[in-house]
Amino acid sequence: MTTILANDGLNAAGIQALEDAGFSVDVNKVAQEQLANYINENKISGLLVRSATKVRKDLIDACPDLKLIGRGGVGMDNIDVEYARSKGIHVINTPAASSDSVAELVMAHLYGMVRFLHDSNRNMPLDGDSRFNDLKKKYAKGQELKGKTLGLIGSGRIAMAVAERAVGVGMRVICSSPSGKDQVIHLNIFDGQKINVTIKNVDMKTLLKESDFVSLHVPKMPKAILDTDAISIMKDGSAIINTSRGGIVDEQALMNALDSGKIRYAALDVFENEPVPAVKLLMREELSLSPHIGASTEEAQERIGLELAEQIASLLGKQ
């Protein structure tokens, strides 16, 4: 029986689907340094990972019987994809499964920031009984999202899922991507009603100048997209949301912009130094923070599990 190791976990629905297709599923969490030996000793044919486990050239070379590597999610930064494929190994991912969950996290951060919920949720439990009026005054200058401009860096599935939600609350949405093409989103309202909305693709400088909020939705980059120069173009008092990749926002440049007031607040779900984000970031009251949970909803994990199972069954079959 073909064995699949889900080293970073797999939803119960995905496990069941694989077992129903005739596979054995191993959900042990194996330490990175022990992974090659475990794969070989247990005759693992397929390795499923999320962001924690790294599948680099050395691991691939050490596991000659590995037939498939699967990433539960979109980005495959932690896998040497082309090298694995050059060795005849199938490499798969689930690019559409987590779009809605990441998009909803973006909106959660947006709503939280504009009403200072990220900070008031820290301070109310500590001082709500003794400084109620002070805190009320501190958080009394919130904003509404309706009528504001959201700039999306990227125009892929997740970016457009964010666009759907932002348009739904009355925001103007623009995007910037190398394709230069406008995007059309399809809003499903209710009772089968649909509305098509065009999201205009603009150059990066225009996006940064016009946006009240900038949200990043791009693959891993060799250097930061939002660095000191890019941030200097942004509106005074604007905001940044990064649920995409650590390192595409220069964290020091962001800190400097928060100090100067150029950036009013920012939301980060990903960091340059995961899983140990810089303490200077964690201490900033202007930051809305989450620990890389963009795809971490029950619904997304079920979709990921089922999509992985379907691909594995198609590629490996019953062996």
Catalytic residue IDs: 245, 274, 292
Helices (H), 5-127: 12-20, 35-41, 57-62, 81-86, 99-114, 117-127
* Other CB atoms within 10 Å distance of the CB of residue 44: 23
Instruction: Dig out the tokens for 39 from the structure.
Output: 């794969």
Q: What tokens were used for 174?
A: 């623009």
Structure tokens at 243: 């649920």
- Contact, 214 vs 241, CB < 8 A? yes
Residue 61 Cα to chain centre, angstroms: 29
Strand order in the sheet with 24-26: 24-26, 3-6, 44-49, 68-71, 90-93
Sign of CA dihedral 265, 266, 267, 273: negative
Under a CB-based contact definition with an 8 Å cutoff, are residues 313 and 21 in contact? yes
Q: Could you tell me which residues come within 8 angstroms of residue 145 by beta carbon, excluding any fewer than 6 positions away?
A: 110, 111, 114, 166, 169, 170, 171
How many CB atoms are located within 10 Å of the residue 81 CB?
A: 16
